[in-house]
């Protein structure tokens, strides 16, 4: 599948997009890709939502020479779980990102130089609201599905709360409606690693180069928490890297840190990590119960048994509360040694789960039943 | 209990102490404390072994005005698990430490300034061998018990392998015979945090002051891995600190990092963490089976169910292998929300386990039975 990166730009005069922190952008650009075609009723769209370090390039190749396809390629294409013969699949880079959508590295037209840390504070709802602007621009009338893992899963769930009538189903994977203090703590380490680096220059480094050591260390911290001890034992155990004299696992972390610096911006990392830390889906509505009662979508949460950051128990609890409040929630679990990153790797488990869920949703809707009737059968089965 | 810090010093002429890396010290000092009295047969000694950030001050107060007693005070004293009315309890700061025993901050007499990173590479066996020198100096003929958690547990187990006839029983807690790659990876983050700090000055910082930001971050990384999500949820959840505007868990980490800089040396941290990473109890003996067959002590390993670094399963496996090889191993588990640090906190569980084990060991020996007979009863019960 050969795909193309696209951009949607608008000025303040065309659309005044204001963050919840109160900042209205003079100009906004959204980088996105689409796979498949929008149908006549404009209601066959699926929105794929990327994680912290992801981008709009979810599937396919830009050129036949590309070494690697998009980050969720095995999920997206003809006959795949997100079947591009049936669905119009869309993925965009998040607000605040550094991969084509307006973020800290973008030019601030008001000052004639990049925002850097003068970029406004953003949150997960801002990301979702900008995605809605993009979908309106593309003419999408309804989402069949919003799906994503980790930070992408936070957005998927937020879609169901912010635009309850626009989205039929959501699949938040390896994620949460609010980070646990352990995940906040790990993210804080990454923030400190970057801010401690003198090359960060209080965020004003763009003309000098990245705070490479700090950003690399932040990524190394993240990388450990996205994996598992079992995986490290299988891959490295205590083997020594003959080139570096370090443990293989140490060289592996160095490599991940260094390559991240080449493709990701340090301030962007700070903005996105803070957006994750501060996200609490119930903030605008007072209580989680009131928030949950807004949801009309069918919800499938998928956990990963070895996830160090997003615990299956917490996800199961969320689904129980959703169902107690009259919602339509299911929970499935991936068994994997990959840890949190399993949602980017274990497609043999993920694909059939998502496929079955999508087919089930269509079957219910085609039969004229509503989720509420259907839901009785599995409500107490979590 | 009022206690006193003591020092034992010797020169190369008196005792030539050589590290496994081949360095012979001109002078060595060992900081230690003792609680209780050595009996006439000089065989009632218990050696307490501290963890990475610990020291020789395991119990009691230096003055009645002290805010806090030693780090394992609830375990040590009259009538406590390590009963000072029966036992002569000894704790010393490890080789390479910064709390009174020769380490990177000590004066290197050959160059007239502190070692810094010219300190020789040291390992867990070196620590144990220096403890043996101290015990010889104190006239101890036999250890009833060597006990400790984390890095202290690595030493306790090493005691059973290096000096099999000198130690009747060992209790390694929340520890391992070799670190798993996950624990190595977390330790490596701490190493990078320090070495990334320009104030570290390639290790040559002693006349300028500590690499405070790097050492603080290293401690913050460690602190998370010593705790648990459940603990953080109970203590902080997502509450905000009114003074800092940060999440409470973030301010808590900052506080732990900053206070660590005031009491611990960065190079010492690097030396001890590397000693832990590189430790593999079987290294001198080729295979774990051959190593394990050296052990004559009764071994009680104690795991913690929420430990993020030292997994109960790995400890249980070690004990199974020990018993298969004809050893005398038992495994007990502390159930706690405290994570790895439970061995420094959950004394209500730890004390009775250790007390019962010590009494059991004495009972077996007093009855003239040997561990081998006794062991049959629990060998297959792990």
Per-residue model confidence (pLDDT) at position B81: 98
Binding residues of A for substrate: 219, 341
* Residue A376 scores a pLDDT above 70: no
CA dihedral (B62, B90, B126, B299) positive or negative: negative
- Is B145 within 8 Å of B124 (Cβ atoms)? no
Contacts B220 to A, Cβ<8 Å: 188-189, 192
Confidence of residue B375 (pLDDT cuts 50, 70, 90): low
Contacts B248 to A, Cβ<8 Å: 181
Which one of A121, A180, A181 makes the best mutation probe of the B interface by having the most chain B beta carbons within 10 Å? A181
* Residue A215 scores a pLDDT above 60: yes
Rg of chain B over all Cα atoms, to the nearest angstrom: 20
Question: Which DSSP helix (H) or strand (E) runs through A146?
Answer: strand A143-149
Q: Model confidence over B340-356: pLDDT tens digits?
A: 999 999 999 999 999 99
The answer on A286 and A163 residing in a single domain is: yes
The answer on A248 and A360 residing in a single domain is: no
Q: Which residue has the tokens 């250790």?
A: B354
Q: Give φ, ψ of B193 to 5 degrees.
A: -55, -45
CA-based nearest residue in chain B for residue A234? B181
Q: Model confidence over A317-350: pLDDT tens digits?
A: 999 999 999 999 999 999 999 999 999 999 999 9
Length of chain B: 382
d(CA A128, CA A123): 9
The residue among B244, B277, B310 that closes a domain is B277
CB contact under 8 A, B224 and A186: yes
**Any alpha helices (H) in B264-302, and if so which ranges?**
266-278, 288-292
CB contact under 8 A, A217 and B189: yes
Q: Model confidence over A145-180: pLDDT tens digits?
A: 999 999 999 999 999 999 999 999 999 999 999 999
Q: Give φ, ψ of B24 to 5 degrees.
A: -105, 125
CB contact under 8 A, A237 and B181: yes
* Residue A382 scores a pLDDT above 70: no
CA-based nearest residue in chain A for residue B213? A196
d(CA A58, CA A306): 24
In a domain, A324, yes or no: yes
B233, B280, B311 ranked by CB distance to A238: nearest: B280
The residue among A277, A303, A322 that closes a domain is A277
Binding residues of B for substrate: 219, 341
A181, A196, A280 ranked by CB distance to B229: nearest: A181
In a domain, A1, yes or no: no
Beta strands in chain B (DSSP E): 6-11, 27-35, 45-49, 76-77, 82-83, 88-92, 107-108, 113-114, 143-149, 169-173, 298-304, 328-334
In a domain, B1, yes or no: no
Per-residue model confidence (pLDDT) at position B374: 57
Catalytic residues of B: 150, 307, 340
* Residue B376 scores a pLDDT above 70: no
Per-residue model confidence (pLDDT) at position B369: 73
Q: Give φ, ψ of B280 to 5 degrees.
A: -145, 115
Q: How far is A53 from chain B (nearest CA, A)?
A: 20
Q: Model confidence over B239-289: pLDDT tens digits?
A: 999 999 999 999 999 999 999 999 999 999 999 999 999 999 999 999 999
Q: Model confidence over A270-295: pLDDT tens digits?
A: 999 999 999 999 999 999 999 999 99
The residue among A242, A277, A312 that closes a domain is A277
Per-residue model confidence (pLDDT) at position A371: 76
Could you write out the DSSP letters of every residue in A43-108?
A: --EEEEE--TT--S--SSBSSTT-SS--TTGGGEETTSSEETTT-EEEEEPPTT-SSSSSSTTSEE
Contacts B253 to A, Cβ<8 Å: 185, 188-189
In a domain, A273, yes or no: yes
CB contact under 8 A, B249 and A181: yes
CB contact under 8 A, A181 and B236: yes
Q: How far is A371 from chain B (nearest CA, A)?
A: 33
A178, A197, A249 ranked by CB distance to B184: nearest: A249
The answer on B319 and B174 residing in a single domain is: yes
Q: Which residues have C-beta within 8 Å of that of residue A280, sequence separation ≥ 6?
A: A177, A178, B238
The answer on A166 and A38 residing in a single domain is: yes
Q: Model confidence over A108-138: pLDDT tens digits?
A: 999 999 999 999 999 999 999 999 999 999 9
Per-residue model confidence (pLDDT) at position B293: 96
Helix (H, G, I), strand (E, B) or coil at A139: coil
The answer on A222 and A325 residing in a single domain is: no
CB contact under 8 A, A247 and B181: yes
Average pLDDT score, chain B: 96
**CATH number, position A196:** 1.10.1740.110
- Is B179 within 8 Å of B276 (Cβ atoms)? yes
> Which residues on chain A place their C-beta less than 8 Å from a C-beta of chain B?
178-182, 184-186, 188-189, 192-193, 196-198, 213-214, 217, 220-221, 224, 228-229, 232-233, 236-238, 246-250, 253, 277, 280, 311
The answer on B127 and B47 residing in a single domain is: yes
Mean pLDDT over B229-245 rounds to 97
The answer on B138 and B60 residing in a single domain is: yes
Angle at A123 between CA A117 and CA A127, to 5 degrees: 105
* Residue B68 scores a pLDDT above 90: yes
Length of chain A: 382
Task: Name the percent of chain B lying above pLDDT 70.
Answer: 97
In a domain, A381, yes or no: no
Average pLDDT score, chain A: 96
A197-217: b or e for each residue (b if 16 or more CB lie within 10 Å)?
Answer: bebbeebebbeeebbbbbbbb
CA-based nearest residue in chain A for residue B311? A229
d(CA A39, CA A166): 16
B182, B213, B217 ranked by CB distance to A229: nearest: B182
Per-residue model confidence (pLDDT) at position A374: 57
Q: What are the strands of the beta sheet with B27-35, ordered from one edge?
A: B6-11, B27-35, B88-92, B45-49, B143-149, B169-173, B298-304, B328-334
Contacts B224 to A, Cβ<8 Å: 182, 185-186, 189
**CATH number, position A44:** 3.40.50.1820
* Residue B141 scores a pLDDT above 90: yes
Angle at B304 between CA B273 and CA B380, to 5 degrees: 115
In a domain, B188, yes or no: yes
The token pair at A364 is: 């219910």
Per-residue model confidence (pLDDT) at position B47: 99
How far from the centroid of its chain's Cα atoms is residue A272's Cα?
Answer: 11
Per-residue model confidence (pLDDT) at position A121: 98
B88-92/A328-334 β-pairing: unpaired
CB contact under 8 A, B224 and A182: yes
The answer on A268 and A167 residing in a single domain is: no
Task: Give the domain extent around B239.
Answer: 183-277
Per-residue model confidence (pLDDT) at position A366: 87
The answer on B157 and B224 residing in a single domain is: no
The token pair at A82 is: 């997100």
Q: How many domains does chain A have?
A: 2
The answer on A110 and A29 residing in a single domain is: yes
The answer on B374 and B314 residing in a single domain is: yes
CB contact under 8 A, A182 and B236: no
Per-residue model confidence (pLDDT) at position B337: 98
Per-residue model confidence (pLDDT) at position A372: 64
In a domain, B285, yes or no: yes
In a domain, A382, yes or no: no
Distances (CA, A) of B156 to A345, B304, B346, B378: 41, 17, 20, 22
A180, A184, A247 ranked by CB distance to B184: nearest: A247
Confidence of residue B382 (pLDDT cuts 50, 70, 90): low
CB contact under 8 A, B217 and A189: yes
Q: Which residue has the tokens 């189903």?
A: A169
Distances (CA, A) of B219 to A60, A245, A268, B56, B98: 43, 25, 25, 20, 15
The answer on A112 and A174 residing in a single domain is: yes
Distances (CA, A) of A5 to A104, A130, B308: 20, 18, 42
């Amino acid at each position: 599948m050969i795909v193309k990166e696209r951009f949607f730009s608008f000025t303040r005069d065309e659309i005044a997009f204001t963050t919840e922190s109160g900042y209205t952008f003079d100009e906004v650009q959204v980088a996105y890709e689409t796979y498949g075609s929008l149908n006549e009723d404009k209601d066959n769209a699926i929105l794929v939502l990327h994680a912290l370090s992801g981008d709009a390039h979810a599937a396919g190749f830009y050129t036949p020479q590309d070494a690697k396809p998009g980050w969720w390629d095995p999920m997206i294409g003809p006959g795949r779980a997100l079947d591009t013969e049936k669905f119009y699949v869309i993925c965009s880079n998040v607000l605040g990102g550094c991969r084509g959508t307006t973020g800290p590295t973008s030019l601030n037209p008001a000052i004639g130089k990049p925002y850097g840390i003068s970029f406004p504070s953003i949150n997960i709802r801002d990301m979702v609201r900008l995605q809605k602007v993009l979908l309106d621009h593309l003419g999408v009338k309804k989402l069949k599905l919003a799906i994503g893992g980790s930070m992408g899963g936070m957005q998927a769930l937020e879609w169901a709360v912010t635009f309850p009538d626009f989205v039929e189903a959501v699949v938040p994977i390896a994620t949460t409606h609010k980070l646990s203090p352990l995940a906040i703590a790990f993210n804080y380490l990454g923030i400190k690693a970057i801010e401690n680096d003198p090359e960060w220059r209080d965020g004003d480094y763009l003309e000098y180069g990245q705070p490479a050591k700090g950003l690399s260390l932040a990524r190394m911290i993240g990388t450990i928490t996205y994996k598992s001890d079992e995986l490290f034992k299988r891959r490295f155990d205590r083997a020594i890297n003959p080139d570096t004299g370090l443990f293989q696992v140490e060289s592996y972390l160095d490599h991940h840190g260094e390559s991240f610096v080449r493709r990701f911006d340090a301030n962007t990392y700070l903005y996105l990590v803070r957006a994750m830390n501060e996200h609490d889906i119930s903030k605008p509505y007072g209580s989680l119960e009131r928030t949950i009662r807004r949801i009309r979508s069918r919800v499938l949460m998928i956990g990963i048994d070895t996830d160090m950051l997003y615990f299956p128990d917490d996800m199961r609890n969320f689904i129980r509360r959703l169902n107690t409040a009259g919602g339509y929630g299911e929970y499935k679990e991936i068994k994997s040694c990959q840890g949190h990153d399993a949602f980017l790797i274990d497609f043999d488990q993920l694909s059939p789960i998502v496929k079955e869920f999508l087919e089930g949703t269509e079957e219910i809707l085609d039969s004229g039943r509503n989720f509420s009737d259907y839901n009785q059968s599995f409500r107490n089965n979590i």
